[in-house]
Structure 1
Amino acid sequence: MRERLVVIGGDAAGMSAASQARRLKDPDALEIVAFERGHHASYSACGIPYWVGGDVDGPDQLVARTPEEHRARQIDLRMRTEVTEIDVAGGRVRSRRLPDGQEVWTGYDKLVIATGARPVRPPLPGIDAPGVHGVQTLDDGQALLDTLRQTGGRRAVVVGAGYIGVEMAEALLRRDYQVTLLNRAPEPMTTLDPDMGELVHEAVTGLGVQLVDEAEVTEIRTDEQGRARAVVTSDAEYPADVVVLGIGVRPETALAEAAGLPLGDSGGLLTDQAMRVRGHSDIWAGGDCVEVLDLVAGRQRHVPLGTHANKQGQVIGTNVGGGYATFPGVVGTAVSKVCDLEIARTGLLEAQAREVGFQFVTVRVESTSRAGYFPGAASMTVKMLAERRTGRLLGTQIVGREGAGKRVDVAAVALTAGMTVEQMTALDLGYAPPFSPVWDPVLVAARKATRAVRADAAG
């Protein structure tokens, strides 16, 4: 008998699941219906800052597969259609077409929830005023570009100094805006330890960005027409012709919660390793709406990244299609850049390690991306955390110029394998003067961490 798969969400996790399920089952065996409330499907939200900054010519370059291409593969993708209710007991979902408001119920044999995440938008006066923008979807990116083209002023305020905040600050600089970056924390990039965040602070301010740390935003002040004109903190007021919010995201799980599906501490859906929602044999979930197992900390976390979403979608599609696959967890790897400064981390920060009860040593080393005598050698700082006594690697952070960021992948593999820092020192990494010093910076940090673990044990 022909089954029906319903997918809620037409981006990375949802359409990866649908596409993989279609590869494994033909339309005579499996009907696939997918709902997407936006104007675009299967796109890279991570590319929006580079589109705004001019590195990418237009939104079409960020689309991996169009709705028409999905439909050509016998996936019934219904755009501008929002799912408003999941009836778990009845095995159906209610959807509403946004252009005309028409509502219908659609039954399912198998359900995939891939509703993504929603931007944090604190309930401040003026937060919804014209001229205040998030950057979560391609529609958001287009709206921001429209404002940039229409406004007569050149003053931008970015609220939040995480990945999106610093990337948007760079994008606006490249459009010749005067940029103020407001940050609640003592240093930017709270995905790094504060001492590594200081390096990002120096780089950002060196670009000409006015970076204000420990800034608590209290209001978006508007003009007579109701448009944003300034961002107010507890200490000052910063004039703005455009305001960009980069405060982070939360799992978009209102539908799932209303349906009684299990949520974790962060509000993300809880799944097993097959990405099946716990307690529900025919419902799967993936992407930014789920929590995942942190393999280093041993607990569930919300880690919204497109890499995970695509992998989880592949796992879901394989299982829905009759195969077998699992998503074992993550180690928390992320990389970003501010102009030529590369920023990377994997594993635990100091505060996270303490929170889960680890005792550890930390080391920092300064090195270069190439042999010191080779033209173009650029400096980088590597910080490493290792568990006391065992020497197990717990985390690595890297801040530096060209060639720094992707070195974090070596540490990510070591974390996944549960390696000690001493074992890392024997890794057979590639060497030639144009690519690395004789001792790669990550291995220099591992050597220093090994000595620190031994000294701690001897003391």
Structure 2
Amino acid sequence: MDMSAARDDGGAGGARERLVVIGGDAAGMSAASQARRMRGPDEWEIVAFERGHFTSYSACGIPYWVGGDVADRDELIARTPEEHRARGIDLRMRTEITEIDTARQRVRARDADTGAESWTAYDGLVVATGARPVRPDMPGADATGVHGVQTLDDGQALLDTLARTRGRRAVVVGAGYIGVEMAEAMINRGYEVTVVNRGSEPMSTLDPDMGRLVHRAMEGLGITMVDDAEVTKILTGDDGRVRAVATQDAEFPADVVILGIGVRPETTLAAAAGLPLGAHGGILTDLAMRVRGHENIWAGGDCVEVLDLVSGQERYIPLGTHANKHGQVIGTNAGGGYATFPGVVGTAVSKVCDLEIARTGLREKDARRAGLAFESVTVESTSRAGYYPGANPMTVKMLAERRTGRLLGVQIVGREGAAKRVDIAAVALTAGMTVDRMTALDLGYAPPFSPVWDPVLVAARKAARAVERHR
């Protein structure tokens, strides 16, 4: 089709300025909503495109919906398309943007149901295309019964498959956040679960010694852990459905396969349009979330790279917390205000059944890559005073820069009450505190909540001594 003759839906230079938003989830709709608050409909038209069936939902909640902890899909939806439209946003669902023409300031859209295409001009553009699950390039990766889980549509497709599947064997490929959370979801559904992981331990976002604690706990939950194993193909039956996952050394029977290998930034459109991409494949922006070299284009959410405040390097960290903040910054700036997103320290928490996992800052290999010399300490403690009922064990690992004592990172693995303690370290990292200074933090104490010395402060005290010995 000759798109030069296709309909151009108004645009730049018209009576009203137009903001076009690509992507209807956290970053995109936060940006659209904030821009609408900044400027009224008489002066600022906002058009948003979403290729799926849902908007403004919690992707992080999908494993808990699949596992049955969240009873209804709609509980994950913060705002429906109808609610966005009622707030003055022209939201077009099931419509995919297939091209960004930066020279003529327009985007090409395709209606997923009819195939009709049209151009829409813009004065300002927000790229919030999110991320896509990594699908291995191997035989059987697209077979019936193989699922990636990134969007609400993905979650619904998986549940539909489970409803049609008689067998109760699930294989999860990958053991990062998505992998371990989906392993829990399938355990909760009564499946026999095998996790195949190419790393030496699960949770590569942790150091291997902390990942080993996760490995042991997952095995204790009845999950079969297969580490140091690369999946080579997914085997199917005569009906085209998955029947097993194969590595170089073994086969693991499967009635459903879930890909938990991770995600990559969805930047196909951005790359084709010549927008700058970083080493991790994400779009590069300035502190105002404006795409570098493009005055009227912003980007946010899982398609961008962010500044690591600890290492000073660009990283790719796809999290809903960041995406919503990006959207607020973008909407404020697109609407004529001023806001910045200074960066992150890399805080994340997760769980597998009753095991809690948390990290912030740098791992050992991150610190080495950044050229930092460091001391590493590990302590065992409890979530409450040891004599108080319900005290649970936890392990805290802490990294501090040699000579200066600056906190570099913290990892925590434990039971109830462990994970959110990482927020203490996240604040300390953001403030640039030393581990010695951390030992004086005035944290809340009572036996039902903490030992006299909180586990994070015990680790800080041990790290401070290690730094002092090597000065």
Q: Same fold (TM over 0.5)?
A: yes
Q: Structure 1: how far apart are the matches of 2:132 and 2:155? A: 15
* Cα-to-partner distance string for 1:12-55 (whole Å, 9 max, x where unaligned): 00000000000111100100000000000000111111001101
- Residue 255 of structure 2 corresponds to residue 241 of structure 1: yes
1:394 is aligned to 408
Tell me, in whole angstroms, the C-alpha distance in 1 between the residues paired with 2:467 and 2:353.
36
**2:269 counterpart of 1:269:** no
Task: List aligned pairs for 1:45-56, cutoff 5 A.
Answer: 45-56=59-70
Residue type of the alignment partner of 2:345: V
Alignment match, 1:2: 16
Task: Tell me the SS of whatever aligns to 1:106.
Answer: strand
Q: Give the match for residue 239 of structure 2.
A: 225
Residue 197 of structure 2 corresponds to which residue in structure 1?
183
Q: Deviations over 1:217-276 (max 9, x none)?
A: 000000001110000001100000000000001110010111111110111000000000
Map of 1:146 onto structure 2: 160
1:378 to 361, 381, 392: 392
Alignment counterpart, residue 316 of structure 1, candidates 310, 317, 330: 330
Match of 2:455 in 1: 441
- Runs of at least 5 residues in structure 2 that lack an aligned partner in the other structure: 1-14
1:208 aligns with 2:222: yes
**349-358 or 138-147, which deviates more:** 138-147
1:329 to 322, 343, 350: 343
Structure 1 residue runs of 5 or longer lacking an equivalent are none
Q: Structure 2 CA distance, aligned partners of 1:139 and 1:151?
A: 18
Distance 1:227 1:455 in 2: 60
TM-score w.r.t. length of structure 2? 0.97
Instruction: Specify the alignment match of 2:3 in structure 1.
Output: none
- Post-superposition offset of 1:146: 1.2
Mapping for residues 332-411 of structure 1, pairs under 5 Å? 332-411=346-425
Q: In structure 2, what is the equivalent of residue 289 of structure 1?
A: 303
Match of 1:36 among 45, 50, 58: 50
What is the match of residue 432 of structure 2?
418
Which amino acid is the alignment partner of residue 373 of structure 2?
Answer: Q
The answer to whether residue 134 in structure 2 is matched with residue 120 in structure 1 is yes
Residue type at the aligned position of 1:52: V
Whole-Å Cα distance in 1 between the matches of residues 98 and 181 of structure 2?
33
Aligned counterpart in structure 2 of residue 110 of structure 1, from 124, 144, 148: 124
CA RMSD of aligned residues (A): 0.6
117, 120, 132: which one pairs with 2:146?
132
Amino acid at match of 1:274: A
Q: Could you list the runs of 4 or more consecutive aligned residues of structure 1 that deviate by over 6 angstroms after TM superposition?
A: none
- Deviation track 1:151-202 (CA, whole Å, cap 9, x = no partner) reads 1111110000011101111110111110000000000000000000010001
Measure, in 2, the Cα distance between the counterparts of 1:155 and 1:401: 27
Q: Equivalent residue for 1:93?
A: 107
Matched, 1:58 2:58: no
TM-score, scaled relative to structure 1 = 0.99
Aligned residues: 457
Instruction: Please give the alpha-carbon distance, in whole angstroms, between the structure 2 residues aligned to 1:328 and 1:316.
Output: 13
Deviations 1:269-312 (A, max 9, x none): 00000000001110000000000000111111111000000000
Is residue 71 of structure 2 the alignment partner of residue 24 of structure 1?
no
How far apart are the structure 2 equivalents of 1:360 and 1:217?
Answer: 35
Identical-pair percentage:
78
Q: Displacement, 1:83? A: 0.2
Equivalent position amino acid for 1:371 in 2: A
Q: Is residue 103 of structure 2 the alignment partner of residue 68 of structure 1? A: no
